[in-house]
Amino acid sequence: MEITITLTVDGEERTATVNTRVTLLDLLREHLAVVAPKKGCDHGQCGSCTVLLGGRRVTTCLAFAVQHDGAEITTASGLGTAEDLHPVQQAFLDHDGFQCGYCTPGQICSAVGMLAELEAGWPSHVTPDVASAPERTLAEIRERMSGNLCRCGAYVNIVAAIEQAARR
């Protein structure tokens, strides 16, 4: 069965007719030619397909496209421009938070989402007191980014980049 859906991707309204079993990742990459989210594991374990869906981070390989008709999606490409990078994008450049770059768009979107979660006061598994707002610690950043894997092992630089972006 096919259905026509409309999404706003990086500020642009896009329409596609897809099978109801198509994932949001496959819709973005194969039907709309949006290549920032990457297909890594296709099981929601690596985070390379992470985007911001309505401002919250989502692994698109686990979401059916038809569930998100009318949604607003921001990929790493839609966060800033070449002339005016998003603070997280700039921090990744400043701290060399990537090597091969495959996971970088997902890492960046996840970092933006997790910083918003911290700002909103959402606790994580390592938050000592869930009744009070979590502090931005290395443990919090590492825990919140644990769903995004980097096969090159650039974690030290990724965490440093997130710390820099959080200070802005």
| Section 118-141 average pLDDT | 90
Give the pLDDT confidence score for residue 132 in this predicted structure: 85
Res 168 pLDDT > 90: no
CATH at 138: 1.10.150.120
Which string of b and e fits 54-79 if b means at least 16 CB within 10 Å? eeebbbbbebebbebeebbbbbbbbb
Domain identity same for 65 and 107: no
Span 51-59, mean pLDDT? 97
Residues 6+ apart with CB under 8 A from 64: 20, 21, 22, 23, 24
The answer on pLDDT for 131 being more than 90 is no
163 phi and psi angles, rounded to 5 deg: -60, -45
Residue 163 tokens, joined: 């710390």
Task: Specify the pTM.
Answer: 0.94
In the predicted structure, residue 29 carries a pLDDT above the cut 90? yes
Determine the structural domain holding residue 126 and report its residue range.
Answer: 87-167
What pLDDT, on a 0 to 100 scale, did the predictor assign at position 135? 87
The verdict on 106 and 155 lying in the same domain is yes
Tokens of 124: 């994580």
102, burial (CB in 10 Å: exposed 0-12, middle 13-18, buried 19+): middle
CATH number of the domain enclosing 48: 3.10.20.30
Last residue of a domain, one of 60, 78, 96: 78
